[in-house]
Amino acid sequence: MFDLFPIILLFILAAGVRWVEIPHSEFAPTFYLGFILLTAYFLGRLGTRFRLPKISGYILAGILFGPHVFNLLGHAEIEKLRLIDGLALALIALIAGGELKMDDIRKQLRSILSVLVFQVVIVFVGIALVVLLSHRILPVTRNLEFNTVVIVAIFLGVTAVAKSPATTIAIINEYRARGPMTDLVLGVTILKDVVVLLIFAMVMSVAKMLAHPGQSFDVSFLMKLITEIGLSLIIGAGLGGVFIFYLKRVRSETEVFLLLSVLLVAEFAPLFHLDALLLCIAAGFVVQNFSQQGQRFIEAIERSVLPVLVLFFAIAGAGLDLDALFNLWEFALILVLLRLGFTWIGTYLGIRVVKGHRAIEKYGWTGFVAQAGVTLGMAILIERAFPDWGEELKTLIIAAITVNQVIGPVLFRYGLYKARETAEFRKYD
């Protein structure tokens, strides 16, 4: 009741101020920011009573109070609140880099690479083949020429490979998970983000060649992406050096300095065609592995990251397209189930080949379910490049993202618990 009462009170307050049209006043952005922050926080706490990750509560708050249910947060308000996205993703990436320890990576390197390769190949090829074999019954492909069906199959394959690093890292952080499975999931997740971007760049060029015969392979797009990744990693390593100097020499107001630095990275990296996530991952990795400040660094970020994470996942929940899910729920569900199956097979074979930990064989796949920003970004680029059929394909992809983002945190929490890698087990081992 302690967690439920504030939620009810906040809902009544929000309904009241919407009735008197405060949302149309100059105070509206501040009101919505405070409302979604508090509601999501208490729903996250309430979710833990039912053995759900707090992130699931944050996402549920966004869904409930977003445009598709109670409509206390409309599309316009969501867009205003999305200003937090860049800061949240950069902070999550900084934590991810800080959690990557070279000793752990060396121990798991063969397993990480094996799982990465098997997952990418099996999920990509498996989804693409299923689409090709069933294209006459799929609403997206039934009226398309076979060349275009091949393009759609390839795009669905590569978007199925993608996952949500933010959700994975946030769950690991929430449960303070440690162990072989956690290290493997984190390593594969970060590497996969880079690999998927490179694959998508190549796939986009191939798709344009198939759609427009006579057009040559666009090497410049791929080279631009490789340059962006390389520069982001180099500049990120330099930023890590700045963090080390500050942590060693200045030491005061560490949280403020880190937040300000991450905010500047999130705002200015895109202007210079840099990837803010890779930049922050590299910075965190350098601090953790090339200094004695790793623990202080992680603790400083964790002390200030909670409000940002709550807002980020609540806004993500509000932004989930439930209309797309309702319109294509049968096909989205089939796509989700196929992706789960192929992900399980890829993870199982990847660990089996290198004779890795038994727990990862059984539960490692749960860490690769959630999808969000990267997949959504690819869907938008597909729609822009192929407007004739891209909008319908984007709708199907978004419907699948919606399901994966809801079930992903719950499944990963289950996997970490069964593998005995959450903090509660370390108290008794």
For residues 397 and 404, give the distance between their C-alpha atoms in angstroms, rounded to a whole number: 10
pLDDT digits (tens, 9 = 90+) for 291-348: 888 888 888 888 888 888 888 888 888 877 788 778 888 888 999 999 999 999 999 9
The whole-number pLDDT of residue 381 equals 83
The closest alpha carbon to 341, from 89, 130, 135, belongs to: 130
Res 111: pLDDT = 92
Of 126-130, 188-192, 270-274, 380-384, highest mean pLDDT: 126-130
Q: What is the pLDDT of residues 87-105, one digit of tens each?
A: 888 888 888 888 888 888 8
Round to whole Å and give the CA distance between 53 and 37: 17
Count other C-beta atoms under 10 Å from residue 290's C-beta.
14
Q: What is the CA radius of gyration of the chain?
A: 22
Reported as a single tens digit per residue, the pLDDT across 194-220 is 888 888 888 888 787 777 666 665 677
Q: What is the pLDDT of residue 353?
A: 93
360 close to 188: Cβ distance less than 8 angstroms = no
Higher pLDDT, 122 or 144: 122
Q: What is the pLDDT of residues 244-298, one digit of tens each?
A: 999 988 878 888 898 899 889 988 888 888 888 889 989 999 999 998 888 888 8
pLDDT of residue 213: 67
Q: Say if residue 241's pLDDT is above 90.
A: yes
Name the DSSP class of 22: G
Q: Using pLDDT thresholds of 50, 70 and 90, give the confidence band for residue 28.
A: low
Mean pLDDT on 369-398? 84
- For helices 180-211 and 165-174, the axis angle rounded to 10 degrees is 170
The whole-model pTM stands at 0.83
Other Cβ atoms within 10 Å of 273 Cβ, number: 12
Res. 33 pLDDT band, cuts 50 70 90: confident
pLDDT at 428 over 60: no
What pLDDT is attached to residue 6?
76
Q: What's residue 214's pLDDT?
A: 61
Q: Structural domains in the chain?
A: 4-81 (no CATH), 87-426 (1.20.1530.20)
Query: Is the pLDDT score of 374 beyond 80?
Result: no
Query: Which comes out higher in pLDDT, residue 304 or 415?
Result: 415
Q: What is the pLDDT of residue 107?
A: 85
Mean pLDDT across the chain = 85
Per-residue confidence at 380, pLDDT binned at 50, 70, 90?
A: confident
pLDDT-derived band at 3, boundaries 50, 70, 90: low
- Between residues 322 and 242, the one the model is more confident about: 242
User: Half-sphere exposure (CA, 13 Å, Cβ side) for 259?
Assistant: 15
Q: Which two tokens stand for residue 423?
A: 């903090």
